[in-house]
Structure formats: C-alpha cells, structure tokens
Amino acid sequence: MTDFDGLVAVVTGGASGIGLATAELLSSRGAKVAALDINPDVKDPLLGIRTDVSDDESVQSAIAEVVEKFGRLDVVVNNAGIGAQGDVSANSDEEWNRVLNVNVVGMARVARAALPHLRNSPSAAIVNTCSIAAWAGLPQRVLYSASKGAVYGLTLAMAADHVREGIRVNAVAPGTADTPWVGRLLDSAPDPAAERAALEARQPHGRLVSADEVAGAIAYLASPLSGSTAGTILAVDGGMYGLRLRPK
C-alpha cells in the first residue's frame, strides 16, 4: 500500500461503516481526512464536518472549509448512501426523490464542488461507493438498485470526461458488508442471530464482507498505485459478481 503523505481527502458518510473505515485507513497512511457526514462524530485526527450531501449549500461550504483548512484537495470518496426497500409499488415520488438526491445527485454535487480543487492536484482521484445492487437484480430493492445503477453510469461517464485531465474516477461495489447499516437491518429481524447466519451462508465465501476490506479497495483506487485505472467498478463481494452468481 502506497502512502498518502501530503494529500488531503474527503470521505462522505465518513462517520460510520465503510466510510469511517476508509477515513481511518487513509489517515493512518498519512492523508489529512475530513469526514463529511450528517452525524460527523469522529475522533482525532479525522476532521468531522456536518454535511448533508442532498443540500448543495452544505456541500459547497464543507468543501470550502476543507480547502481553507488544509490548503488543497486530492481525493474524494463519495460514499454517503441510504437504503430503500420494496418492489416498484412501494416507494412514493417523495421517497424516490429523497433517495436519488442522496445516493446519486449527492455524488455529482460533491464532485462538482471538488473538481476545481482536484484539477490542482497531481494525484487526483474520485472513488464512488456503488453496490452489487447495480446489476444483481436484488429482490425488494427497486429504488436502491436503481440508485446504484445510476452510480455505475455516473462513474463511467465521469471517468471518460476527466481521465485526460489527470482525475481518475472509479468505484467499488461491495456485497453485503458488516456495517452498522446491515446491523440495524439484522436487529429488526425476529431472530437477528439466525438472520445473520442465513445471510452469511448466502455469500459465496460464507461470510459478510468487512468494512476494512472495502476500505482497502477504496484506498487502492484512491492511490497512485492505481494510476492507470479509470472507469473501473471493483467488486468486493466474495466473488458474487466475478462468478456470475445471483444472490440467493
């Protein structure tokens, strides 16, 4: 793993789960890291900035604060995301707008605010958190899957637009990862332990993906070690995508 000495990173949704693991990993490798989160409760040396990615003013002010404090911006990890359940009849227009505004427009909004600063970086990278839901056909996850399908397209189109100016755009696509989000879903089941065991058994490698494993993939795509990689969606899913398996 390369180091991030002298580089500055923002991680949206950086106060929990995959985002927090990523913020801590980049920080441990020398980056100055700001966690942009609606609940920015993070420990030193991470800088927590209360940010709502669904609000343009909030995003612009957070990016301006990072650049004012650290003097530059090199890495954007677009990770904040929220869930939605049900078939196509389940979600109202308001819910569609709310979820797409966070999961899709939020990523475009953060990138838009960050781009002028990334153009000054010799080591600029954007990494979006997609999901295997983008292509797996998950049952009862229509809105969430559509949002991550949009992240897939956003990533490829942005990669094409910016690779020639030295800004690499890639994404990770986690399978089911052991984060507070998934913990909350399991806790809402009648028997959380049995539900967890069943979920683990459905994974190709027999366990959930760890947040640290996803963070490692994000750090790779954010680092100069992946300097020739753009427009790639790196699955971190125990092999589900690579093996062309459908979630059971």
Catalytic residues: 144
Do 200 and 206 form a contact (C-beta atoms < 8 A)?
yes
Query: Contact between 155 and ligand NAD (CB under 6 A)?
Result: no
| Residue 154 phi, psi dihedral angles, 5° rounding | -55, -45
**CA atoms of 141 and 38, how far apart (whole Å):** 24
Query: Binding to ligand NAD by residue 12, rule CB under 6 A?
Result: yes
**Residue 186: CB minimum distance to ligand NAD, A:** 11
The answer to whether 94 and 137 are in contact (CB under 8 A) is no
Which range binds ligand NAD by CB under 6 A, 35-43, 119-127, 199-207, 225-233?
35-43
Q: Residue 233 corresponds to which tokens in the numbers above?
A: 């969606």
Eight-state DSSP code of residue 208? P
* Whole-number Å distance between alpha carbons of 58 and 211: 27
Q: Does 52 bind ligand NAD (CB under 6 A)?
A: yes
Residue 186 backbone dihedrals phi, psi, to 5 degrees: -65, -40
125 binds ligand NAD (CB under 6 A): no
Coil vs helix vs strand at 39: coil
Least Å distance, CB 76 to ligand NAD, is: 13
Using rule CB under 6 A, residue 46 touches ligand NAD: no
Stretch that binds ligand NAD, among 7-15, 61-69, 118-126, 189-197 (CB under 6 A): 7-15
Q: Which residues bind ligand NAD (CB under 6 A)?
A: 12-13, 15-19, 37-39, 51-54, 79-82, 102, 129, 131, 174, 176-177, 179-182
